[in-house]
């Protein structure tokens, strides 16, 4: 699976405003995705919940892809995670690792 590492910084003092802005953008972006794409994102999130233990899982639609962010992840099941990531790589999904957590990007078709 293609993995990228980004050096993004925490929002710090503005974390509340950043979270509120992300919620508003997500509400607007969902209108550009079909119900099948939403279902695919939910299924991928459920698969990741089986393999990771984390503070929270977020689905964030953007203009070119849907991101599933895992906040403070710990791998719970390495064998199944490897199988899932092989399947995700075949679908064109990329893995992004940052200081805030791990994200999986589902490209818009």
pLDDT digits (tens, 9 = 90+) for 31-66: 999 999 999 999 999 999 999 999 999 999 999 999
Residue 56, beta-bridge partner list: 71
Q: What pLDDT does 83 receive?
A: 96
Q: What percent of the chain has pLDDT over 70?
A: 89
Q: Is the pLDDT of residue 10 over 80?
A: no
Q: How far is CA 21 from CA 24, 64, 100, in A?
A: 5, 18, 17
Which residues have C-beta within 8 Å of that of residue 55, sequence separation ≥ 6? 71, 72
Q: Is the pLDDT of residue 95 over 70?
A: yes
Mean pLDDT of 78-91: 96
More confident residue, 16 or 69: 69
Instruction: Say which DSSP state 92 is in.
Output: T
Q: What pLDDT does 21 receive?
A: 86
Q: Which two structure tokens, joined as six digits, stand for 97?
A: 């690792």
Domain boundary assignment for the chain:
3-107
Q: How far is CA 66 from CA 14, 21, 77, 106, in A?
A: 24, 16, 24, 5
Q: What pLDDT does 14 receive?
A: 79
């Amino acid at each position: 699976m293609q993995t990228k590492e980004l050096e993004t910084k925490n929002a710090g003092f503005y974390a509340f405003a950043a979270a509120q802005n992300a919620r508003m953008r997500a509400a607007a972006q969902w209108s550009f995705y079909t119900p099948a794409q939403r279902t695919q994102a939910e299924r991928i999130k459920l698969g990741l919940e089986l393999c990771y233990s984390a503070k929270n899982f977020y689905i964030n639609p953007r203009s070119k892809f849907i991101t599933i962010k895992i906040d403070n992840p710990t791998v719970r099941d390495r064998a199944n995670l490897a199988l899932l990531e092989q399947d995700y790589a075949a679908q064109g999904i990329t893995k992004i690792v940052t200081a805030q957590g791990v994200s999986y990007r589902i490209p818009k078709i």
